[in-house]
């Protein structure tokens, strides 16, 4: 249904991953891929940014035209998350729900913190490791409310509806029952993943407890409503680039010719550079 097109060299600042739809049209994974694969059944599209067990912090580039996936940069260096013992890289397939936006001007009534100016994050917990840029259909199981540097950063727990075990998972309690320790490990990972970079531990609303499926879907719907105001420019844009090619009533609609022009300026995809050697190292926290 969707295919990707790479530019530049992976693990360098030149790397960008663009998306095309079934008609071959360039699209934004943030704005042009529908949130729902089936609204009546609450099945959502998920854009995979980081395959499980990998370390490169890839993400939808919210401030660039057509929002390609690219690697985060920190202090001029390509960013890789540490292997925080006993976890290797990301411990789920990690990505985002399209057509969602955590509004940085809105203070959440429950967490008391504003949104983080990004699409809502998803942790897919199924059996398969997906490729960067894959768009998969997931059902939502619950959510965790992380507080990241004073901002609300929801983490949706979901599973691909085509996963062999998908029928067994219908709410967050099923994860707790069938994958004992996984939710606790997820909280631990999110709490500590920035510590190797010299930052403090992240905090959580609700004492780090996961909320159930119905709660999570309400959160998703609210971020979808924020995205709707964003794409129609009825609220502050927050530096989000809203260029799109299919949202017909959006003032940011872009022609195919102009969209193609963004790619023509970029270097062709070259041979892959190696990941940072640091991805083979393990970080151990000193105990007091």
pLDDT tens profile 236-250: 778 999 999 999 999
In a domain, 152, yes or no: yes
Average pLDDT over the chain, rounded to an integer: 94
Model confidence at 272: pLDDT above 80: no
Give the pLDDT confidence score for residue 237 in this predicted structure: 78
Using the CB atoms, write b or e for 34-44: b if 16+ within 10 Å.
ebbbeeeebeb
pLDDT at 235: 75
Residue 279: inside a domain: no
Residue 287 confidence (pLDDT) above 70: no
282 lies in some domain = no
Q: What is the 3-state secondary structure (H, E, C) of 111-153?
A: CCCEECCCCCEEEECCCCCCCCCCEEEEEEEEEEEEEECCEEE
Count other Cβ atoms within 10 Å, centred on residue 58: 25
Number of domains in the chain: 1
Residue 286 covered by a domain: no
281 part of a folded domain: no
Is the pLDDT at 276 greater than 70? The verdict is no
pLDDT of residue 233: 87
Q: Is the pLDDT of residue 193 over 80?
A: yes
**Predicted confidence (pLDDT) per residue in 109-159, tens digit:** 999 999 999 999 999 999 999 999 999 999 999 999 999 999 999 999 999
CATH of residue 40's domain is 3.90.80.10
The answer to the question of residue 280 being in a domain is no
Question: Given this model, what pLDDT does residue 115 score?
Answer: 96
Whether the per-residue pLDDT at 224 is higher than 70: the answer is yes
134-146 pLDDT per residue, tens: 999 999 999 999 9
The boundaries of the domain holding residue 55 are 3-274
Which burial class, exposed, middle or buried, applies to 203 when counting CB atoms under 10 A from its CB (0-12, 13-18, 19+)? middle
Contact 243, 230 (CB under 8 A): no
Asked if residue 109 is part of any domain, the answer here is yes
At residue 254, what are phi and psi to the nearest 5 degrees? -120, 140
Which pLDDT belongs to residue 286? 73
pLDDT confidence bin for 275, thresholds 50/70/90: low
Q: What is the pLDDT of residue 40?
A: 96
In percent, the amount of the chain with pLDDT more than 90 equals: 87
Q: Output the pTM of the full model.
A: 0.96
Q: 190 φ, ψ to 5°?
A: -65, -30
Q: What pLDDT, on the 0 to 100 scale, is given for residue 279? A: 80
State residue 57's pLDDT score: 97
């Amino acid at each position: 249904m969707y295919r990707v097109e790479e530019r530049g060299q992976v693990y360098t600042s030149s790397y960008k991953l663009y998306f095309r739809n079934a008609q071959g049209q360039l699209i934004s994974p943030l704005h042009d891929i529908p949130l729902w694969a089936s609204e009546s059944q609450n099945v959502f599209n998920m854009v995979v940014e980081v395959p499980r067990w990998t370390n490169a912090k890839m993400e939808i580039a919210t401030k660039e035209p057509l929002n390609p996936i690219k690697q985060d940069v920190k202090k001029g260096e390509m960013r890789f998350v540490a292997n925080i013992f006993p976890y290797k890289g990301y411990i789920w397939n990690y990505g985002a729900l399209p057509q969602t936006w955590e509004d940085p001007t809105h203070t959440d009534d429950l967490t008391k913190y504003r949104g983080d100016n990004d699409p809502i994050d998803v942790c897919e917990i199924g059996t398969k490791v997906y490729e960067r840029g894959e768009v998969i259909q997931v059902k939502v199981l619950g959510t965790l409310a992380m507080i990241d540097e004073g901002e609300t950063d929801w983490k949706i727990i979901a599973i691909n509806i085509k996963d062999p075990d998908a029928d067994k998972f219908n709410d967050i309690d099923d994860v707790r029952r069938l994958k004992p320790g996984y939710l606790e490990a997820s909280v631990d990972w999110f709490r500590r993943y920035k510590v190797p970079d010299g930052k403090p531990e992240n905090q959580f609303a609700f004492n780090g407890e996961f909320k159930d499926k119905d709660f999570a879907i309400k959160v998703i719907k609210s971020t979808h409503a924020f995205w709707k105001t964003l794409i129609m420019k009825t609220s502050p844009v927050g530096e989000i680039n809203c260029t799109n090619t299919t949202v017909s009533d959006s003032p940011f609609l872009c022609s195919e010719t102009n969209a193609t022009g963004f790619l023509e300026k970029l270097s062709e995809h070259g041979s892959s550079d190696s990941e940072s050697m640091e991805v083979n190292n393990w970080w151990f926290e000193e105990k007091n």
